[in-house]
Amino acid sequence: MLLAAPGGFEQLLERVGGEGLGVALLSYAGTLYWGVGADWNQMPDLSEFTGDIAEAFALVPSVTIAVVAIGAWAPGLSTIYDAVTTAEREALSVLGVHAELAGVFIGEDGRPVPTPLDSRMIVTPGPALERIPFVLCVAYDVAKSPAVCAAIRGGLVHGLVTHASLARSLLGASPSPHGP
C-alpha cells in the first residue's frame, strides 16, 4: 500500500524506467516491484526517493484504516508470485510464505515473514501494517481461502470484502484457537 500525491508515483515509475534498470510494475494493490528480467543488483537505493514517497511513508503511523488485497502464494493468485522468478518463488516458499497482503509476506500462522524481496519493493512494512487499527481486506477466489484464514489467524485482518463462495469456504474452514 502506498499513498502518494497525484503524479508522485508516476514520476517514480518514470525515474525507475529511465535508469534502464528493468521494468517497474505497479500491482493493483499499489505495490511497486521490479519486473521479470530486471537486474536486481542494479536497483537504486529506495531510500534516495524523497518528496511524495517520503511524505507518504511519514503518514503511515497515522493511518487508522487500510484497504489491502490478499494474495495466495500460488500461480494466478498473487501479482507478486506471478512477477518473480521460479527460483524466488521456491525460496520464499522454503521461508514459509503462505500469502501476501499488499506486499507483506505472511506465513501459515499469519505472521509477517521477512524475505529477500522486502528490500526490493515499496510497501508498508509488516510491523507498520500490524499497528494499523483496522485493516479491511479484499479477496476473491475460493482458492485464496487458506491465505485469508492465515491473515485472519495472524490478526492482520479486521474486516473482509469478498463473495459468497469464498465466504462459505471460510465458514467451513477448520477452526483454530484464534479463528478460521
CATH number at residue 82: 3.40.50.1360
Whole-number Å distance between alpha carbons of 134 and 120: 26
pLDDT of the residue at 76:
94
Domain count, the chain: 1
Is 149 a domain residue?
yes
Q: Could you report the per-residue pLDDT of 29-45, keeping only the tens digit for each? A: 344 444 434 444 444 44
Is 180 a domain residue?
no
Is 21 a domain residue?
yes
pLDDT of the residue at 74:
96
Is 1 a domain residue?
no
Is 2 a domain residue?
no
pLDDT of the residue at 21:
43
State pTM to two decimals. Answer: 0.70
The low-confidence residues of the chain, meaning pLDDT below 50, are 1-9, 12-13, 16-17, 19-46
pLDDT of the residue at 32:
42
What domain range is 115 assigned to? 8-171
Is 176 a domain residue?
no
Whole-number Å distance between alpha carbons of 72 and 160: 15
Is 24 a domain residue?
yes
Whole-number Å distance between alpha carbons of 144 and 152: 12
pLDDT of the residue at 34:
40
pLDDT of the residue at 94:
97
pLDDT of the residue at 28:
36
Whole-number Å distance between alpha carbons of 160 and 168: 13
pLDDT of the residue at 15:
53
Is 46 a domain residue?
yes
Whole-number Å distance between alpha carbons of 44 and 126: 22
